[in-house]
Structure 1
Amino acid sequence: MSPLKRPSEDADHEDGRRPAPRTQRIRACAECKRHKIKCEPVDNESKCAKCLRGRTECIPYNPNQRLLDEDAAWKTNATVELGQLRSAVQRLLQHNKLPDLARPHEESPQPASAHTVTISPANVVSENSHTTMLVPPSMDMTRDTSIERESGEESGLVTAPMKSLYDLTRIRNLRSSVRWKPNSDSVEEDFIAQDIISVTEAEDLFKRYMQDIRLYLWAGVLFPYNSLDAVRRHSTLLTAVVLTISALHTPGRDEALQKCYNTFVSLTYNACLARPQNLDDIRALALAAFYLSNLSWKLAGLAVRSALEMNLHLSFQKLMRGQEDQRENVRLWYALYVCDHQLSIAYGRPSIIHEDVAIKNMEQFLDGPNTTPGDIRLGAQVTLFKILTEAYVAYGSDPEQPLTESDFQQLRLFNFAIEQWRLAWQERSADSLSIGSYPSKGVVLYYHFARFQLNSLALRALPPPSAATSESLSYDRREAANIAISAATSTLTLMFEEPDLRKAMTAVPIFTHTMVAFSATFLLKMAKTWGGMAQAQSQEWATEPVGLGLNFNIAQVLSLSRRASSFLAKVAENLNEKHITRHIVHGINELLTRLDVPATPSASMARTFTTAHDPVTTQTFDPVADATVKHDESANNTNEYNMHDLIGSYGFGFDETFLGQVAPTNLDFWQTEPF
């Protein structure tokens, strides 16, 4: 046995037992170590001699003790702060009537009027137009380790400036090359999976959209899916907007409409500053722009800019080079062109998409072997709004800028182009088994409205007429004004007399409703503006045309307007009460009541002449008693109509002028702050 080993250790090993671990012996306490003196222990005392004399705490010296103490203190403070934050969040959730932290996917009890949706912690939560603010992520200036080129991308000296900047710096957030990546987990995580809306109700709304709405927008060009499960796998945003549109066109679905609408708005807020992920998200924004009147302008711009970021404007050239997979991209680009230019004309504002190579060569796209009936109908719209946009550029939208006499020669050329457009596209727009003659009759409807829109410019910014200025209208101006009156009358008459158009009014985008509303508004304001002049010139004003050479019959206008109000009221019965049609009916009825003033024919006299001279409308009509939406009498003093401001305006002014003058009637749903 080695003399260095102790007998006790050998005995332990021989017995097969391991020796007990030794406790590290602290040679000095922290106080003695600090004074660099010997630490003398005292029997039966836990302190050393120096600590006893100085009555200080005797702490064994350990180099890691400070770290352990600091760590314990940090954890204690963090626990307290987390508890405070949790308590504060809980109070905020209770104040806003949101689910508490213990059950994030359940809806808390709330009044029927509260409109709340919670998608995920990262989403915006909106309630009664109040929106919580998101904490934005930090500005990422991270560099990419490598550059992944898009398929088909060619290198060269001439590139876009921002691409050159990215190539130089490789900063990740400068990139705009985004590939479509479907989210396979969306079905398990979307708002239907969270039971914000039940699967059964979602299926019912989806079925309604597919059967009654989808085909009226170019045979479903913007919605290529046949099942709810398929669209849920590809885009939650597209799912939300389709269900919102369906609920908006279904009476009695107020709760489902509010939930789907809140979900869509929440997701759109999140997408505003994010890069577009796939084509379906752009389709969702475009569909919403076509159908949601309160968000249409904002969403159209967002959709177009997202498409540009995904380089959809280059898809036509790629398709012409033989890349057939780009055809769907080109379809979407054309749909965005129509959406952008419809709303540009409707609001009297400049458009974003200009006449690029895809618009100029539309026929090359339609000559392809995979052209569908929806492509033909889409091509008709692209061609029409190309003409109307040229007129917008030529004449502008300033309501205080009248046309000069030299402008009417160009106006005749635009009228000729519209005539040629109808001859070319009405025959090509084949009827459908599902929607009847709507494709071809829709071309006729847009033809009348385009003529009305163009020729109403002849009356723009003219002073109100009087007997002293009875000869103020030149021949060219009277000719254009008469075309506008005839076209507005034809727009309403065609809508009443064509069964397939009447049926379509419960499913068409808001632009078609705007056409009817604007035509009726124009004719009624003409009746107000020129009625006094007609009365001064003739005692038989109700049956005689208006003076100044205008083919304008006030009795016929009143009859058509009442028929429009009655027809749209019936349409509104098959739509949700939040649909804009109800407010259009209210606005038309308001204009009818305001025509009953001493300077113009009274409502009672108009009813008499209407019954005598309009065999179609035989029943009496009281605009006040039959108004579908009652208004507050006090609003009459604050929402006075300017009876001359819409005449001849190239832009509808439909958001600010028309709806802005309608008395407030249960508009809570549309008071969500637009983004």
Structure 2
Amino acid sequence: MSKRPNDDTDHDSGRRPQAPRPARTRACVECKRHKIRCESVAGEQKCAKCLRSGVDCVPYNMTQRLQDEDALWKANATSELTLLRAAVQRLLRHNQLPDLAAQSEPSPAVAPSPSNVVSISPANVVSENGISTTMVVPPMDMTRENSVERDVGQESGLVPAPMSSLYDLTRIRNLRSIRWKPNFTCMDEDFIAQGIISAEEAEDLFSRYMENNHQLLWAGVMFSHSTLEAVRQNSTLLTAAVLAVAALHTPGRNDALQKCYNIFVSLAYSTCLSRVHSLDDVRALGLAAFYLSNLSWKLSGLAVRNAVEMNIHQSYQKLMRGHMDQRDNVRLWYALYVCEHQCSIAYGRPPLIHEDTAIKNIERFLDSPHANPGDIRLCAQVDLFKILTEAYMAYGSDPEHPLTEPDFQQLRMFNFAIEQWRLSWQPRSGDSPVIGSYPSKGLVLYYHFARFQLNSLALRALPAPSAASSESLSYDRREAANIAISAATSTLTLIFEEPDLRRALPGVPIFTHTMVAFCATFLLKMAKTWGGVAQAASPEWTTEPLGLGLNFNIGQVLSLSRRSANLLARVAESLNEKHLTRHIVAGIRDLLKHFDVPETPLSTMNQATQLTHAIGTRAIDPVNGDGGLGDGGVDMMNMYDLIGSYGFGFDETYFGQAALSDFDSWPTS
């Protein structure tokens, strides 16, 4: 086989070199996408395919593509981080927490390392209604202040408080006293700005609070702002408290009350362990404690603890040293004293605030040209609760501990102190152009109630009387019991006879409403437990039952109780359906049903006969065995237990267990 002759004679002597290949063109993005050959066109920047399609001819470059995608991702991440930061900042302000810049930062003297980084992990929390929620628990902050060097000249003194001394030594942040939150404009981000409550509705509720409640709390001690805008700029918590109280005193505002209540409770939860507060936050907690019956005990204690941590209890000493800007702080401390003692007495529990320098020197506080009528009314309340607290410490609140005969000598001293209190303060409580004679008449109301509460202790833990064996009470015990009966009767009668008291009744704190309920309940229980024995032992009707010596008229008791229920029912018409007053009315009327006495006027003898029959025949119910109360009523033992109890029994059953259930069932998120 012969080879094909080579036409190229120039390379006969050797191997012919390969022709050079043209430069390989990298396909553009468009051709790469369609998987076709990318053909260049002479004199054009675009390839043939891109020219025909009319699109940009972009060279395909994997490295450039990765760079572009990375830049795009970073831009998106930066945008999202900015949004997240703004959202977190908004949540912090909404919950009255410090800004992000104020959060714990690593000390400049310590370089951040993996051992210094502590993650924030969620913790499961089970609420009262059994619903499991998740909250983020911040790490325990043991970082030091930025200035770690101790200045001996600026330390807290030679004999400081132990924890203050520990802080001086270690400079650990969370050992400091609570920090005051600087005022900042938060109204642009509060619940009104978010539209949860419209601005028009908020203004209307604020106006109602200023008109109906503001002056009744000692001429505005608990609220120092005159406009809604001012309070919104200073404290979202106080804004929510004021609007919730206003909605609670306005019929038909269930939706607004629900929203404001939820917001307030949510913010109050966040303040429990927060270390940054303002005076308005403390005022918000105290204000809500006066009016929200289901939260009063918790809120009053929280308000006191926050105020003490902010050193409000030392404001009186500063005022006496010439710092006139401390007068409002002293007023706030006095108001918290009254609030906390009202709640303590209502539950029969020991108070948190004791008689300190400020409480002992209220006269010196009033001896100033800056004292106003509200200060006089406030200090009168402080002086009264000093007496009642001393009595609590002397007698306690154990319902099974009766007073002994030697105890009545001290009881007379307390009665004398209350008489002196009225003689001292009533002439100083002048009429007000806004609330009329309520300052002086309200003082008389508290006078009667204090006498009733103290002297009702004479009946505490006595054996239940019976028709078969009724032992005579001692003279001292009978005297105190008669004072209690007279004072309870006077409390109810005074409200009926004083128009300014009746006009103020819708806007007063729940303590006053409970005074009426407690007096009416006490008298009805006396009629049930003691009146039946007296009528069974006496062949004829008498206002002073034989063998007991109690000045007790059952017909008058039933009449006063009905009038009290009817009066409170009229008051409840001007209040929200969630207000405690409606449940008080239902509770009193439920107790009245168990006497089976018609309301039509009868002669004294006929009424006495019917009352004797009603009380005597319903002593034991053959079906229920509960004194005829049955069907969710208060049984005989419960009715007797609360006679002579130092506390009102806010959490007891004489309201038919309905008083607080509405609020307890509300969601708080």
Return the TM-score normalized by structure 1. 0.75
Amino acid at match of 1:648: G
Amino acid at match of 2:195: D
Structure 2 unmatched ranges of 5 or more = 1-25, 27-62, 99-124, 609-627
Amino acid at match of 2:631: N
- Cα distance between partner residues in 2 of 1:586 and 1:198: 34
Structure 1 residue aligned with 2:649, among 627, 649, 653?
653
- CA apart distance, 1:275: 1.8
- CA apart distance, 1:163: 1.2
- CA apart distance, 1:544: 5.8
Amino acid at match of 1:550: L
Match of 2:487 in 1: 487
- Cα distance between partner residues in 1 of 2:127 and 2:228: 26
Match of 2:663 in 1: 669
- CA apart distance, 1:155: 3.5
Amino acid at match of 2:650: F
Match of 1:13 in 2: none
Match of 1:636 in 2: 631
Q: Decide whether aligned partners of structure 1 residues 674 and 260 sit closer, same or farther in structure 2, where only a CA change above 3 A counts.
A: closer
Deviations along 1:210-244, whole A, 9 cap, x unmatched?
01111011011111111000111111111100000
Q: Decide whether aligned partners of structure 1 residues 147 and 141 sit closer, same or farther in structure 2, where only a CA change above 3 A counts.
A: same
Q: Does 1:141 align with 2:161?
A: no
Deviations along 1:229-269, whole A, 9 cap, x unmatched?
01111111111000000000000101000010001001001
Match of 1:355 in 2: 355
- Cα distance between partner residues in 2 of 1:234 and 1:279: 9
Q: Is the 8 A contact 2:178 2:277 kept in 1?
A: no
Amino acid at match of 2:653: T
Q: Decide whether aligned partners of structure 1 residues 181 and 315 sit closer, same or farther in structure 2, where only a CA change above 3 A counts.
A: same
Q: Is the 8 A contact 1:316 1:358 kept in 2?
A: yes
Deviations along 1:297-347, whole A, 9 cap, x unmatched?
000000000000000111111111111111111110000111111111110
Identity, % of aligned positions = 68
Match of 2:35 in 1: none
Q: Is the 8 A contact 2:543 2:551 kept in 1?
A: no
Report the RMSD for the aligned CA atoms in angstroms. 3.5
- CA apart distance, 1:533: 1.1
Q: Is the 8 A contact 1:241 1:260 kept in 2?
A: yes
- Cα distance between partner residues in 2 of 1:147 and 1:441: 59
Matches within 5 A, 1:266-665: 266-467=266-467, 469-541=469-541, 545=545, 547-594=547-594, 596=595, 602-604=596-598, 608=602, 636=631, 640=635, 642-659=638-655, 661-662=656-657, 664=658
Q: Decide whether aligned partners of structure 1 residues 604 and 540 sit closer, same or farther in structure 2, where only a CA change above 3 A counts.
A: farther
Q: Is the 8 A contact 1:125 1:266 kept in 2?
A: no
- CA apart distance, 1:167: 1.5
Match of 1:260 in 2: 260
Q: Is the 8 A contact 2:449 2:515 kept in 1?
A: yes
Q: Is the 8 A contact 1:465 1:529 kept in 2?
A: yes
Q: Decide whether aligned partners of structure 1 residues 609 and 255 sit closer, same or farther in structure 2, where only a CA change above 3 A counts.
A: farther
- CA apart distance, 1:147: 7.2
- CA apart distance, 1:654: 2.0
Return the TM-score normalized by structure 2. 0.75
Match of 1:49 in 2: none
- Cα distance between partner residues in 2 of 1:159 and 1:652: 41
Q: Is the 8 A contact 1:558 1:606 kept in 2?
A: no
Amino acid at match of 1:524: L
Match of 1:174 in 2: 175
- Cα distance between partner residues in 1 of 2:97 and 2:145: 25
Amino acid at match of 1:392: Y
- Cα distance between partner residues in 2 of 1:474 and 1:585: 35
- Cα distance between partner residues in 2 of 1:121 and 1:221: 22
Helix, strand or coil for the counterpart of 1:133?
strand
- CA apart distance, 1:643: 1.8
Match of 2:161 in 1: 160
- Cα distance between partner residues in 2 of 1:668 and 1:298: 17
Amino acid at match of 1:645: D
Helix, strand or coil for the counterpart of 1:560?
helix
Q: Is the 8 A contact 2:524 2:591 kept in 1?
A: yes
Matches within 5 A, 1:125-274: 130=131, 132-146=133-147, 155-184=156-185, 186-274=186-274
- CA apart distance, 1:465: 1.6
Q: Is the 8 A contact 2:155 2:168 kept in 1?
A: no
- CA apart distance, 1:132: 3.4
- CA apart distance, 1:613: 8.6
Q: How many residues align?
A: 544
- Cα distance between partner residues in 2 of 1:418 and 1:148: 56
- Cα distance between partner residues in 1 of 2:492 and 2:310: 41
- Cα distance between partner residues in 1 of 2:369 and 2:150: 31
Q: Decide whether aligned partners of structure 1 residues 612 and 275 sit closer, same or farther in structure 2, where only a CA change above 3 A counts.
A: farther
- Cα distance between partner residues in 1 of 2:259 and 2:452: 39
Q: Is the 8 A contact 1:546 1:553 kept in 2?
A: no
- CA apart distance, 1:466: 2.9
Match of 2:43 in 1: none
Q: Is the 8 A contact 1:341 1:385 kept in 2?
A: yes
Helix, strand or coil for the counterpart of 1:486?
helix
Structure 1 unmatched ranges of 5 or more = 1-22, 24-64, 84-100, 106-117, 597-601, 615-632
Q: Decide whether aligned partners of structure 1 residues 529 and 209 sit closer, same or farther in structure 2, where only a CA change above 3 A counts.
A: same
Deviations along 1:395-421, whole A, 9 cap, x unmatched?
000000000000000000000000000
Q: Decide whether aligned partners of structure 1 residues 120 and 531 sit closer, same or farther in structure 2, where only a CA change above 3 A counts.
A: closer
Matches within 5 A, 1:102-141: 130=131, 132-141=133-142
Helix, strand or coil for the counterpart of 2:398?
coil
Match of 2:13 in 1: none
Q: Decide whether aligned partners of structure 1 residues 156 and 200 sit closer, same or farther in structure 2, where only a CA change above 3 A counts.
A: same
- Cα distance between partner residues in 2 of 1:369 and 1:345: 33
